[in-house]
Amino acid sequence: MKKIIDVSATLFATVAFSVNATQVFDLEGFGAISRSMGGTSAAYYTGNAALISNPATLAFAPEGQQLELGLDLVTTDINSTNSDREIANSQTTSNNRGPYYAPQISFVTQYQDWRFGVGLYANGGLGTEFGSDSFLSRTENGTQTSFENSSRLLVLRVPFGFSYQFSPELTFGASVDMVWTALNLELLLPASQVGALAMNNDLSGSLVSPLAGFIGGTGAAHFSLSKNDPVGGGVDAVGLAGRVGMTYRLSAQTMLGASYNFETSVGDLTGNATLTAIDGSANTLPLNGDIRFRDFEMPASLTVGASHQFNERLLLTIDLRRTFWSDVFSSIQVGFTSAAGNIAINLPQNYQDITVYAVGAAYQYNDKLTLRSGFSYAEQAQDINLLFPVIPAYLKRHLTVGGEYRLDSGSAFNFALSFGLKETLQTPSYMAGNEFLTQSHSQVNAVFSYTHQF
């Protein structure tokens, strides 16, 4: 499995790559068809991307075989402002961050009433780059440390799936994913945040006392675990996931669909890291060691939906998805071990389960051109009292447009634009001397794909 993931990573590394958080850490739809229709996918055919949404809808693929090649493009606008109106912008300053490019590759074939397929997709993630000279890099007493604050999370999936048409009304499908999760993180915590973790019994280990003594009441602590390459992370792990799905045709015009996406099973993310204690005069005490993010999983989700073909040209779709974030992100548990000792850190997150509402429409303008649009709304999963600027996972609303142009050969070009509408939050500050942080995030996603039928 690790060899297959490594080959997949090599394919992705042919372009600069990362994906930014959209609906928490998930993309708001897979493939150009679903993305252009608000991310709906439960009850109509979305192309080969059905492998990673509802594999039962593969049963509605054209006869024969289909190869799909696609590309995601993500651009973001993320910033954090303190109560002194200083702004920390997330910008492109290394291979960590965007604009972000993510290839999609998939193949589906037919055998009687069966469809079989395999693909390569980015499930989602996040990326920020606040640099090393903003207020986020200061100690408790305001000393500039020149340490970075940044992040990159990549969740890559390789689904192997099938569908089977039991009857003209009923289809069933399933897929098994190989999952690769990789994380980069550069995070500075001022002394007050370190002290709050200690007071709440979220710090333990032999390094707590000596590091706290060095930091004192005016310093900070910095974690560095980054791989400065287009793909991968300072810590990573490989595991499994999957999904099952079905559709049921109520009438010639109306379809119902449902899918269940299982929680990933990748276990602990492991790698090397540097933990640096910083005192109020910017003197440093760096410690190199091994780091472990325990049970770092992506959540399960349940999606139900319907589609209705009003006439030969107009299709409307609706999805309702429940994602169980509280099962996997109640806290982030980190273990660090060095020759000098060890420390265990529990970063409370208190993510909530959320419901995502999505609608979409497709209008076949003529035999070659189809136009699409959609909208989705996601509830807030993050606890704003515990929100770090390097984890901007709070977008709620996405407005989408797109279309398809069919070629004489039966192949087609599809495209989609998804606008993550700006969200602004005021959160209690974990920085010294500030009463709150104002955090904002907006982004534009584009998806282009070519499908060849043969």
DSSP string, 116-151: EEEEEEEEEEEEEE--SSSGGGB-TTS-B-----EE
Cβ neighbors of 15 (< 8 A, separation 6 or more) are 71, 101, 103, 230
Q: Burial level of 312, CB count in 10 A (0-12/13-18/19+)? A: exposed
What is the rounded CA–CA span in Å between residue 117 and residue 433? 55
Pick from 81, 18, 30: which is nearest to 441 by CA?
Answer: 81
pLDDT, averaged per 10 consecutive residues of the chain (454 residues), comes to: 45 43 77 95 96 97 94 86 87 58 90 96 84 89 90 91 97 97 92 86 92 91 87 90 97 97 96 95 94 95 97 96 94 94 92 95 96 95 84 90 91 95 83 72 91 92
Q: Burial level of 367, CB count in 10 A (0-12/13-18/19+)? A: exposed
Q: What pLDDT score was predicted for residue 259?
A: 97
What is the rounded CA–CA span in Å between residue 448 and residue 413? 7
Q: What pLDDT score was predicted for residue 291?
A: 96
pLDDT, one tens digit per residue, over 314-357 is: 999 999 999 999 999 999 999 999 999 999 999 888 999 999 99
Tokens encoding 301: 């989700």
Q: Position 4: which residue type?
A: I
Q: What pLDDT score was predicted for residue 51?
A: 97
pTM for the predicted model, two decimal places:
0.90
Q: What pLDDT score was predicted for residue 428?
A: 78
Q: What pLDDT score was predicted for residue 386?
A: 82
Question: Which domains, and CATH codes, for the chain?
Answer: 2-453 (2.40.160.60)
Q: What pLDDT score was predicted for residue 355?
A: 95
Q: Position 356: which residue type?
A: V
The answer to whether the beta carbons of residues 98 and 154 sit under 8 Å apart is no
- CB neighbours (10 Å) of residue 84? 8
Pick from 128, 141, 24: which is nearest to 76 by CA?
Answer: 128
Cross-strand bridge partners of residue 369: 405
- How many whole angstroms from its chain centre is CA 7? 21
CA distances from 335 to 134, 182, 399 (A): 28, 17, 40
Q: What pLDDT score was predicted for residue 12?
A: 43
pLDDT, one tens digit per residue, over 134-150 is: 999 998 888 999 999 98
Longest Cα–Cα distance in the chain:
73
Cβ neighbors of 259 (< 8 A, separation 6 or more) are 41, 42, 53, 54, 55, 56, 243, 244, 245, 246, 302, 303
Q: What pLDDT score was predicted for residue 93?
A: 56
